[in-house]
Amino acid sequence: MALLRLRNVRVHDAVGDRDVVHSVSFELAPGRVVGIVGESGSGKTLTCRAVLGILPEHFTVAGGSIELAGRDTATLTPREWTDLRGSVVSAVFQDPASYLNPSIRVGAQIAEVVRVKKGAGRREARRRAIELLEAVRLRDPDVVYQQYPHELSGGMLQRVLIAAAIAADPQLLIADEATTALDVTVQAEILDLLTDLRERTGLALIVVSHDLAVVAQLCDEVLVMRAGEVVEQGTAADILYDPQHDYTRLLIAEHRQYGLNRFLLEDDPRDELVPLKELNHVG
């Protein structure tokens, strides 16, 4: 059964009096990964925020439906949304520092999530927080537990945020440009970590990125968005090897220089057929 099902979702901006997301549909099964790519302002983040029930003021889901873990989210009360966030769906965004309280030790912030969401006692929450810091592959988790956000690097902070995001054992994690601000090596480590979590825990992921290479590495299915519309949608292999839309071709051409090929799926019979020729005269 699908964990998440979006059908023709439309997000409306009441102030600008316009639709900012036009008609997004996809399904996500447990343990699967869907990627959303597209240029800045194409509606990727608002689509995710609609799934999380945290659209900015004046924005509403004005059409279509979002079903999360068997519930029609249109029927959820604010209280029910609060219960679902963290324990069913969770998210990490770019700029992890801004999501942490600078004056509280990072371990205590994770422990707080465990206490509130899992109803754990203080000692148990602390034990679990250290376990989570270990699960996101931070060395010396006892030491990191005691540190303040400013003492950690960007990559470490993003791991801390991921630890907090998975603290209440969600079934779905949304990673919205979660690796964008990180340097390439750290980015690869975080992507590796997400893949590992998916494999170990059956976590489903929505990965938002303007970087097709990120999406190529992680995703089963890909949605390409432009100006609030899904211009192309399909398996990662189809999108990468056989893009139908000019805009997708342009994205692929842009990313070819960053070595997209090394992310292409292993053992795909179309490995030899990457239409580089075609790509060359795009853009």
Ligand X SMILES: Nc1ncnc2c1ncn2[C@@H]1O[C@H](COP(=O)(O)OP(=O)(O)OP(=O)(O)O)[C@@H](O)[C@H]1O
CB distance 193 to 159 below 8 Å: yes
Residue number, 22 or 118, with CB nearest to ligand X:
22
Least separation in angstroms between CB 127 and ligand X: 37
Per CB under 6 A, does 41 bind ligand X? yes
Per CB under 6 A, does 17 bind ligand X? no
Residue number, 45 or 187, with CB nearest to ligand X:
45
- Closest by CA to 150, choosing from 202, 97, 110, is 97
Q: Which residues contact 200 (CB under 8 A, 6 or more apart)?
A: none
Least separation in angstroms between CB 174 and ligand X: 12
Per CB under 6 A, does 226 bind ligand X? no
DSSP type of residue 223: E
Residue number, 46 or 253, with CB nearest to ligand X:
46
Per CB under 6 A, does 179 bind ligand X? no
Of 8, 14, 54, 56, the one binding ligand X (CB under 6 A) is 56
**Nearest-angstrom CA–CA distance, 253 and 150:** 38
Per CB under 6 A, does 43 bind ligand X? yes
**Nearest-angstrom CA–CA distance, 155 and 161:** 10
Of 42, 90, 171, 217, the one binding ligand X (CB under 6 A) is 42
* Part of the chain binding ligand X (CB under 6 A), chosen from 42-50, 108-116, 126-134, 135-143: 42-50
Residue number, 109 or 187, with CB nearest to ligand X:
187
Residue number, 141 or 228, with CB nearest to ligand X:
228
DSSP 15-28: TTTEEEEEEEEEEE
Per CB under 6 A, does 51 bind ligand X? no
**Nearest-angstrom CA–CA distance, 175 and 153:** 19
Single-letter amino acid code for the residue at 237: A
Least separation in angstroms between CB 87 and ligand X: 25
Per CB under 6 A, does 209 bind ligand X? no
DSSP type of residue 39: -
CB distance 197 to 203 below 8 Å: yes
When computed from its CA atoms, the radius of gyration of the chain, rounded to whole angstroms, is 19
* Part of the chain binding ligand X (CB under 6 A), chosen from 41-49, 79-87, 106-114, 185-193: 41-49
| β-sheet bridge partners, residue 21 | 11
How many CB atoms sit inside 10 A of residue 269's CB?
A: 8
| CA dihedral of residues 102, 107, 111, 112 (deg, nearest 10) | -10
Per CB under 6 A, does 259 bind ligand X? no
Per CB under 6 A, does 44 bind ligand X? yes
Binding residues vs ligand X (CB under 6 A): 20, 38, 40-46, 56, 210
